[in-house]
Structures are given as structure tokens and as C-alpha cells.
Amino acid sequence: MNKGKKETLMELARWIKESQRIVVFTGAGISTESGIPDFRSPGGIWDRFDPSELSYPNFIANPVSRRKYWEFYREYWKGATGVQPNSAHRAVADLEQQGKVMAVITQNIDGLHQAAGNSPAKVLELHGTMWEVRCLSCNYFYPWEEIFNLLEGGREVNNCHQCGGLLKPATVSFGQSLPVGTLQEAQRCSMNCDLLLCIGSSLVVYPAAQLPETAKNSGAKLVIINRESTPLDSIADLIIKGEAGEIMTGVLELLEQV
Ligand code: NAD
């Protein structure tokens, strides 16, 4: 690690030490080192699927799009089954153990924060979870494995056996509203935190990307950890470029020295 980078990590370690109410805000980039590709990096999911075709209005209106959507999920479930949290997820869980974390607001649908040890009550899944399938009409729950096995067997997903409604993974698609209560709680935490640590989000998907701005405008320090630049770099108090796992492991080690 070069000297400049170590000093930057030291600065973050000091800020973490001083903070009592940290919000960790994560995007797909925190999970790439676990083997789940993000959407926008080269080789990401949008290279193979057209996001506009997988939108919520298309899912509702068009059986062909629905089939494409399930094809996408079959592939996604297959790729994410058995995937383990990485050192960045574990570092976030460690911060919660140290009593520092007010909330982990995530755009991710993979459940890896909870798998790393963050308490489910603190993890706010803005875009839902891929590990549940629900009826859009009556909210009846279906185990994802049941639907996955259907798809693997080359069969179609039937409508809800309770009410005839459409089934869909419990995730938020483009054109679909975010869960109101979760979003409100995320806004409340962003307004009341003293440090917002943004890890691996391109910060282009709204309204989620509004939350780091809310935190900054409410007086919190904003730190952005990403391989690439983001649209909020200009308002960040600290930008750390690189791999989330290495950076978070380094910061946690330094936390013992500051
Ligand atoms: P995104 O694909 O738009 O951006 C990912 C960001 O992470 C990029 O800016 C990239 O530079 C950065 N990144 C990638 N790997 C990194 C690493 N190892 N270390 C540091 N930075 C890294 O993802 P997004 O901003 O989260 O928005 C896309 C939406 O897609 C999300 O809302 C989410 O619902 C969904 N999504 C979820 C998952 C998941 O659950 N794991 C995966 C893909 C997409």
C-alpha cells in the first residue's frame, strides 16, 4: 500500500473512531469480490440483458418480457447460489459489532450483509431481496427454490395458486416503487447519521443515490469507496479509489491504531 493511500485510510479510521452513528450505504460493487457481477462494469449483467426490457411495466403487460425476466432470474439465482460474503461485508458487520452502525442501507438484493453477520433489523434493502418470490396481488410467499427448479426443468411459472395473480421475485424493478417504509427509514437514518460510508455504488440509480446527498446536506461526513469516479465525488469529504475488500480490511486494521 503506498503512503498516500495509507494516510487516506488513516483519516477514515479516525473518522470512524469519532463517529457514533454511521450509515453504510452499499451497491453492487461490494459484492463483486464475492463473485456476483455488478450491472454497469464491463462484463456486467447489462452487457447480456437489456434493462429496459426487464422493466416493471413490461413485466406486467407482456408475457414475452415476463419469460425473458424469468430467464434472467434463472441465471441470476444460479450464479448467486452458495456465494459467500467477502472481507468488505465482514468489515461492515465488524463495525456493527463495535456499536458504530446505525443502519446498512443497501441497493443489493443478495442478502450478503445479513450473511456476514449484520442484524437483519439494521439492513435496509431498498431494492428488496432476490431470495423470495411473492404474488403481486395477494403477497403470498413462494420459496425461490421452488420457482428456480421449475425454470431449470424448462417449465413456465404459473400464476398464484391462491388468487391467480402474477408471481415476481421480491425485488424492485425499473419502473416499480421502492418499499415506502424502508425508504422512509433510510431517509431518517441518512438525516441523522454522523458519517455515511458509501461502498461500491455507481450512485446513478435514484431515489437510492439521493441518500448520500441527504446525509451530507444534514451535516454528516461523506466518504466514497469505489473503483471508479461517481457523480457525487465533488461533494465527498473523502474519496478512496480501489477494491472495497482491501480498503475496508485496511481501515479496520488501522482502527486499532488510531
Ligand atoms: P452498479 O452496477 O451501477 O455499480 C457498481 C459500482 O461499484 C460501480 O461504480 C463500480 O465501479 C463499483 N465497483 C465494482 N466492484 C467494485 C469493488 N470490488 N470495489 C469497489 N467498487 C467496485 O450498481 P449499483 O450502483 O448498486 O446499482 C445497480 C442496481 O442493481 C442496484 O440498485 C441493485 O438493485 C442491483 N444489483 C444488485 C446486485 C447484488 O445484489 N449483488 C448486483 C447487481 C445489481
Specify whether 154 is located in the same domain as 250: no
Provide the number of structural domains found in the chain: 2
Alpha carbon 127 to its chain centroid, in Å, reads 8
H runs (alpha helix) in the chain? 3-18, 56-61, 63-80, 87-97, 112-116, 144-152, 180-192, 210-217, 244-255
Specify whether 136 is located in the same domain as 26: no
103-132: burial string, b at 16+ Cβ within 10 Å, e else: bbbbbbbbbbbbebebeeebbbbbbbbbbb
Specify whether 117 is located in the same domain as 200: yes
Residue 110 is classified by DSSP as S
Length reported for the chain: 258
Q: How far apart are CA 258 and CA 248, in angstroms?
A: 15
- pLDDT tens string for the chain (258 positions)? 555 788 999 999 999 999 999 999 999 999 999 999 888 777 766 677 787 888 999 999 999 999 999 999 999 999 899 999 999 999 999 999 999 999 999 999 999 999 999 999 999 999 999 999 999 999 999 999 999 999 999 999 999 999 999 999 999 999 999 999 999 999 999 999 999 999 999 999 889 999 999 999 999 999 999 999 999 999 999 999 999 999 999 999 999 998
Specify whether 121 is located in the same domain as 235: yes
User: Where does a domain end: 171, 196, 230?
Assistant: 171
Active site residues: 127
Query: How many angstroms separate the most distant Cα atoms in the chain?
Result: 62
The DSSP code sequence of 183-204 is HHHHHHHHHH-SEEEEES--S-
Specify whether 139 is located in the same domain as 105: no
Q: How far apart are CA 5 and CA 191, in angstroms?
A: 29
Specify whether 136 is located in the same domain as 123: no
Ligand 1 centroid – CA 196 distance (Å)? 17
Specify whether 220 is located in the same domain as 133: no
Which of 24, 31, 38, 126 most suits a substitution to test ligand 1, by most atoms within 8 Å of the C-beta? 38
Query: Is 238 buried (19+), middle (13-18) or exposed (0-12) by CB count in 10 A?
Result: middle
End-to-end CA distance of the chain: 18
Is 173 near ligand 1, meaning CB less than 6 Å away? no
Atom of ligand 1 nearest to the CA of 109: 40
pTM of the entire predicted model = 0.95
What CATH number is given to the structural domain containing 163?
A: 3.30.1600.10
User: Where does a domain end: 111, 141, 171?
Assistant: 171
Atom of ligand 1 nearest to the CA of 40: 2
Specify whether 229 is located in the same domain as 194: yes
| Neighbour tally for 153: CB within 10 Å | 7
Specify whether 75 is located in the same domain as 183: no
Specify whether 200 is located in the same domain as 237: yes
Can you give the residue range of the structural domain that contains 231?
1-36+86-127+178-258
Atom of ligand 1 nearest to the CA of 28: 26
Q: How far apart are CA 243 and CA 180, in angstroms?
A: 32
What is the number of alpha carbons within 13 Å of residue 8 lying toward its C-beta? 16
Specify whether 10 is located in the same domain as 110: yes
In the prediction, which pLDDT does 210 show?
96
Alpha carbon 112 to its chain centroid, in Å, reads 9
Is 152 near ligand 1, meaning CB less than 6 Å away? no
In the prediction, which pLDDT does 42 show?
75
In the prediction, which pLDDT does 1 show?
55
Specify whether 201 is located in the same domain as 132: no
Provide the 3-class DSSP secondary structure of residue 98: coil
Ligand 1 centroid – CA 22 distance (Å)? 21
Q: How far apart are CA 82 and CA 145, in angstroms?
A: 13
In the prediction, which pLDDT does 4 show?
76
User: Where does a domain end: 115, 147, 171?
Assistant: 171
Tell me which residue has its CA closest to atom 18 in ligand 1: 243
| Neighbour tally for 81: CB within 10 Å | 11
Enter the C-alpha cell of residue 174. Answer: 425499473
What CATH number is given to the structural domain containing 11?
A: 3.40.50.1220
